[in-house]
Amino acid sequence: MAEAEDDPNAQGFTMTKEDLMVRRNQTQVWSCRNGEKHKNFRTGALTIAEGRNIAEGDHNKAVISKWLAENNHLSVGDAIVVELKEGIFQTGSQPMKTWGQPIHLEIAGLFHGSFHQQASEHTPEWGYIDNIIYTDFDTYTKLQKNLDAAGFASEYRDGYTKAEFLVDDPGKLDGIMQQLEDSEEFGLENMKVTVDSAAYQAAAKPYHQVRMFAVILLAAGLFGTGIILCLVMKFWAQGRTHEIGILISIGIKKGEIFGQILTEYLLISAVALTLSFCLSGSLMDRCAAVAEQMMEPKTDEGAFEVTVSDLYEPVIMKTASDEVELEHEVSIGAMGFTAVFLCGILSISTLISLAGMRNIEPKKILQSM
């Protein structure tokens, strides 16, 4: 393409080869104090394939994508140079002019994406995650000084434009947000505070599903157990009608008969509970394994979704959970609840069954034998 010497602000301005070269080689440098805590690495969207991540105290270090390294014949330990070109910030006759001093960075590590970003003709070079360079705060400060020397962004040289806070308990998030908004120490009147819970929601979704399934299963189990016990106790009591008639005929009170029958049922239940508690450990392991298998992330579905922001920055959103790991144990509380529930159902069932025999006549029972 032929070079144009026209005024860049005039109508019909044509980009020169140097303008195109600057834009083709333009990318973004993202700084972080600890690379492992950066959102993209923390969520597993990016992982270190070779070398290491950015660490606290680093100076002039860089972490680039493995794809970028392979296409530029680079490896861990090699050096790259980042420069601020005039053509990035404004159009003019010197797009290749360097602002400030070039910064030499040593490649500390190579990252690999856990997803595939679709190419688009509308996405600039710096909109692809494979072109992003992660570096330390010392390098960030030097870049800001270069901007300051050129008369740009001097207000950011000694401060931060963005801060990210991690919350260890999602249930406290609303309260923390309210404290930040009410605090006079931070001065947030000129800042935008947003909540990014996409990764947590994606990770917590299968656990919510397992919990809901467990609650439904527990409710159905308790209801079904209660109905079955009531029916069993009813038929069992009816089968002992002659025995009850004989006991009444020899002068034994109905309360004593009720206590005797209930004691027998409770002793049998105690044996059943003991066996069930002994087997519950292995059965729970099997149930947990089945639940983990059911909630296992689908390999044919992307775990991450990549979009490009209004500033043409790649934004990675976690859309699927990691592998589900369920911690399970038979607690004393669960065992106690089961025992109390079973004893309660047995007592009520026995009482209801024997209540129908309160008007029983021993003479008729003996005559029918």
pLDDT score of 215: 78
pLDDT score of 292: 61
CA distance 349 to 332: 26
- Choice between 82 and 3, residue whose per-residue pLDDT is larger: 82
Residue carrying structure tokens 């007592």: 347
Q: How does residue 75 score in pLDDT terms, banded at 50, 70 and 90?
A: very high
pLDDT score of 4: 34
CA distance 277 to 272: 9
How many residues are listed for the chain in this entry? 369
Is residue 72 within 8 A of residue 65, CB to CB? The reply is: no
Q: What are 344's two structure tokens?
A: 């309660």
- Least confident span in 6-20, 46-60, 74-88, 324-338: 6-20
Q: What are 222's two structure tokens?
A: 């308790």
Residue carrying structure tokens 């390098």: 139
Look at residue 63 and give its three-state secondary structure: strand
Is residue 240 within 8 A of residue 261, CB to CB? The reply is: yes
- Least confident span in 76-80, 161-165, 200-204: 200-204
Buried b (16+ CB within 10 A) or exposed e, 94-120: ebeeebbeebebebbbbbebebebeee
Task: Tell me the CB-side half-sphere exposure of residue 201, using CA atoms within 13 A.
Answer: 8
CA distance 42 to 167: 13
- Choice between 302 and 130, residue whose per-residue pLDDT is larger: 130
% of the chain exceeding 90 in pLDDT: 16
Span 361-368, average pLDDT:
59
**What digits encode the pLDDT tens for the residues 168-194?**
777 777 777 777 777 766 666 667 777
- Choice between 77 and 177, residue whose per-residue pLDDT is larger: 77
- Least confident span in 92-96, 211-215, 292-296: 292-296
Residue carrying structure tokens 């917590």: 204
H or E element, residue 305: strand 304-308
Q: What mean pLDDT, rounded, does the chain reach? A: 75
Q: How does residue 368 score in pLDDT terms, banded at 50, 70 and 90?
A: low
What is the C-alpha radius of gyration for the chain, rounded to an integer number of angstroms? 36
**What digits encode the pLDDT tens for the residues 288-344?**
666 666 666 554 446 777 777 777 778 877 776 566 666 666 667 777 777 787 777
Q: How far is CA 258 from CA 2, 273, 333, 358, in A?
A: 106, 22, 29, 11
pLDDT score of 27: 87
Span 96-112, average pLDDT:
91
Q: How does residue 206 score in pLDDT terms, banded at 50, 70 and 90?
A: low
